[in-house]
Amino acid sequence: MLSHDVLVVGAGGSGLRAALAAARLGVDVAILSKVHPLRSHTGAAEGGINAAFSEQDSWENHAYDTVRESDWLADQDATEVLAQEGPAAVYELDHMGALFSRGPDGRFLLRPFGPERIPRTVFAGDTTGHVVLQTLYQQALKERLRIYEEWFVLDLVIEDGVCAGVLAYDIPGGTVQAVAAKAVILATGGAGRLYANTTNAYICTGDGMAIALRNGVPLKDMEMVQFHPTTLPGSGILITEGARAEGGYLLNARGERFMARYAPRLMEQAGRDVVSRAEQTEIDEGRGVNGCVLLELRHLGEERIKSRLAQTRELCTTYAGIDPVHEPIPVRPGAHYFMGGIHTDLTGRTTIPGLYAVGECACVSVHGANRLGGNSLLELLVFGRRAGEGAAEFARNQKGVEVPEARVRDTERELARIVSRSDGERWATLRDILADTMSREMGIFRTGNGMRHCLSVIMELKERYRRVRLDDRGRVYNYDLVSTIELGFMLDVAEAVVISGLGRQESRGAHYRRGYPTRDDANWLKHTVVHRDPEGNLHLDYLPVRITRWPPAARVY
Ligand SMILES: Cc1cc2nc3c(=O)[nH]c(=O)nc-3n(C[C@H](O)[C@H](O)[C@H](O)COP(=O)(O)OP(=O)(O)OC[C@H]3O[C@@H](n4cnc5c(N)ncnc54)[C@H](O)[C@@H]3O)c2cc1C
């Protein structure tokens, strides 16, 4: 049986950073990913990575901006760690070979991303995620880490209450494999595909979150789903916040810079939740242009667009037939990022000994109710290292672990049962209903009735899911099977999102609830925690927000 000290599930920025940290402590580390590491979604990140480098800046400023933008739901001890360890984490990546954009004096160029008060976003043109992912992957190759490429984790193995490894479908080999591990780190990314209009790739299906939930690990703040204000219609491709940071602005059909009405001080640089709601209001009230608003960049001039926003121009030309040097870009909000996820402490530990989580699938709670752009890539580095080191320390003190053979046989039988179903619906039909319903009822504006309707649709889809039919009956490279299982994960995550949203009777950050339009610190300054009982029913619980130095205050735009 395959066996390692530490097994990292996921080869995006968080998984690779965690794996490197664990390996550098001298334990045996392997990485497992359902796609080739360089296809992980971190590669899509564009705008940059935050760290307090400027002389006017400090880690306290960075932490405070993060807390304020989180609408005070972030745990302040976690944001302090993020901000304090940020510059060293970025320098470390720089020393690994990441090519960041620099000024004539050789220092990092810094962008003013969103509502940051001081420019602090380090970037590599507008392909920062690509550079981060390539750099970390090269380091993983250099360390000769074992990588199980195109292996799809189906479940965890928990023996006597301790995590002992995973069960996975080896997609090219067509077999079920057990990988025993003294510590497992889930680094499986987000779940943007729960929504129809999303910036996320088809692989972002919330697998790690669902697997954790099924094994009794709570998910935290799942109602907090960030919508990014500038995505291309149809494809959902993201136009980086860097475009507004460089001076781009938003117009409605009347040619008005409408942000003046919603955020007179910060205008287009206001928080993503604020700008997305403003755009949606303009569109809903008939001042949009074909379901979009317009992002104007022409005044920046061709040279600046070419040097700072080259990929943005290429994406617009290729996918929307628009050259931003000559025309405004039609944009609309799209589901982008899960602030919530698997509940962890500051070293990535979950409630199961030996199980860790990090990155977008986790909630160490640095983003609260609204993520500050540029903080996710930083979270991958800072907490990736911490989770890797934590898991390595844990593994060192563990005796050998094994996965019972019966678990492999049971999983083989379960897959064979799914593959052999001859009548029923296609997974894609159910996925589209799920995504449309989530977009309508759990999007930028929510209501109690809408969320209850959404929950009833999800429960009905879960019933129909039991009879999903596959067209591909083979075992090797069966993506029909992978997609079917991913849909099961998505339905579980969607239920957690809706139950959490129904619970929160206020508006905070990304959770805007009509009927409760204001933030209510007296009753709701707390984290939502959702957990599943052995019968499969979800229950809500709450945890206090950890406040260290910044008492809640109003966000002023
Ligand atoms: C278009 C876009 C632009 C962005 N721009 C920025 C930015 O400029 N700055 C910023 O800070 N943030 C940005 N973000 C957010 C940030 O990029 C992501 O939150 C972050 O990269 C997620 O990294 P991750 O390591 O958690 O997950 P991912 O990079 O998504 O990796 C997940 C990994 O898990 C694996 N996996 C998943 N499920 C399974 C399974 N069942 N079995 C095996 N493997 C599995 C996948 O194969 C993959 O390797 C952006 C996001 C998007 C979508």
How far, in Å, is the centroid of ligand 1 from the Cα of 190? 6
Residue tagged 């959404």 (tokens)? 454
Domains and CATH numbers, the chain: 1-45+145-224+339-536 (3.50.50.60), 230-333 (3.90.700.10)
Two tokens, residue 226: 């960030």
How far, in Å, is the centroid of ligand 1 from the Cα of 42? 4
How far, in Å, is the centroid of ligand 1 from the Cα of 41? 4
Choose among 72, 12, 49, 63: nearest CA to 544: 72
Q: Which pTM was predicted?
A: 0.97
Cα torsion 132, 134, 138, 144 to 10°: value is 100
CA-128 nearest atom, ligand 1: 8
Q: Which amino acid is at 57?
A: D
Burial label, 433 (beta-carbon count in 10 A; 0-12, 13-18, 19+): middle
How far, in Å, is the centroid of ligand 1 from the Cα of 522? 35
Above 90 in pLDDT, residue 220? yes
The span from the CA of 364 to the CA of 74, in Å, is 9
Burial label, 551 (beta-carbon count in 10 A; 0-12, 13-18, 19+): exposed
pLDDT number for residue 307:
87
Per DSSP, the three-state class of 295 is strand
Dihedral sign for Cα atoms in the order 40, 46, 49, 50 = negative
For the stretch 51-107, pLDDT in tens is 999 999 999 999 999 999 999 999 999 999 999 999 999 999 999 999 999 999 999
CA-374 nearest atom, ligand 1: 11
If you average pLDDT over residues 335-358, what whole number do you get?
98
Residues 349, 368 contacting (CB under 8 angstroms): no
For the stretch 103-158, pLDDT in tens is 999 999 998 888 888 899 999 988 999 999 999 999 999 999 999 999 999 999 99
The span from the CA of 333 to the CA of 439, in Å, is 11
Q: Which amino acid is at 507?
A: S
Mutate to test the pocket of ligand 1, among 16, 41, 149, 176 (most ligand atoms within 8 A of CB): 41
User: What number of H helices and E strands is found in the chain?
Assistant: 16, 19
Catalytic residues: 228, 244
CA-151 nearest atom, ligand 1: 43
CA-123 nearest atom, ligand 1: 8
Mutate to test the pocket of ligand 1, among 188, 209, 231, 372 (most ligand atoms within 8 A of CB): 188
The span from the CA of 330 to the CA of 232, in Å, is 7
List the residue whose alpha carbon is closest to atom 9 of ligand 1: 374
Above 90 in pLDDT, residue 394? yes
How far, in Å, is the centroid of ligand 1 from the Cα of 377? 9
Q: How far is CA 175 from the centre of its chain?
A: 29
Residues with CB under 6 A from ligand 1: 9-15, 32-35, 40-42, 44-49, 128-129, 152-153, 187-190, 199-200, 203, 207-208, 238, 336-337, 359-361, 373-377, 380
How far, in Å, is the centroid of ligand 1 from the Cα of 271? 21
The DSSP code sequence of 10-44 is --SHHHHHHHHHHHTTT--EEEEESS-GGGSGGGG
Residues 187, 10 contacting (CB under 8 angstroms): yes
Two tokens, residue 284: 């809903």
